[in-house]
Amino acid sequence: MVDRQIRRRGISDDTVLRAMALVPRHLFVPDTQASAAYADCALPIGLGATISQPYVVAMMTEALRLEPGLRVLEVGTGSGYQAAVLAACGTSVFSVERVEELHRRAARTLGETGFGDVRLRLGDGSRGWPEEAPFDRILVTAAAPAVPAALIEQLDDEGILVAPVGDDRLQIVRRLWKKGAGIEQEELEGVRFVPLIEDTEPAT
C-alpha cells in the first residue's frame, strides 16, 4: 500500500510513510471489508461513516507538517485509523467523535492495536476540545462549508489546521496557518468526505 499507492503519488515525508506502514489498517475496518483494507479507496464502516482512502489519509497527515511531541486535535474519530496514524507520527492525539457507537469501537480498536494513549471524547467535534486547547495542529475529517470558528480559536499561534471545505458537489482540502490575529491558507486537493454535523443547541 505504501509503495504502490502513497509513495508513488508524491507523499515523501518519511515519518508519515513509516506511520502508514506501521498501523494495521485491516483491523480498523469491519470484517466484511478486511480483504479490501489496503486498496486505494474509502470503505464504509457503518452508521453512515467511512474510513478514508490511504492516499487521502497520508496526504492530509503530511499537510500537517508534524513533529514529535505536538498536540493534535482530530475532529471525527470514525474508525480510529487516522488517529492511530497521527499517534504513530509521535504526536499527542485528542480525537472527538459524535456517534457513540463509533466512539466505542474506535476506543476498543485503538487499545487493541497499541494506540490506547490516544485521548477520545464523545461530542460535537465542530466545537473542538476547549478544555485541552490550544493545539499545535488540528485535522478535520468531515466536510463543512467553512471551518468552524471554534476550531480556529483553539489553534495555537503558528499552528496548522487541515480540513476539507465545501458542499456535496465540491470539496477542497485547505491548509490554514494561524499567524497572530490573521490566517493564511492554501488549497491542496479535491476530496469527498461525509458532512460535518454541528449541534444547533448551545453547549452546556
Active site residues: 52
Of 58, 60, 95, 92, the residue nearest 175 (C-alpha): 60
What is the grid cell recorded at 154? 483553539
Q: Are 164 and 142 in contact (CB under 8 A)?
A: yes
Of 68, 94, 65, give the one whose Cα is nearest residue 80.
Answer: 94
| Torsion over CA: 152, 20, 92, 130 (sign) | positive
Torsion from C-alpha of 185, 190, 194, 198, nearest 10 degrees: 20
Dist. CA 94–CA 121, nearest whole Å:
8
Cα separation, 191 vs 135, in Å, equals 25
List the one residue out of 128, 172, 170 whose CA is nearest residue 152: 128
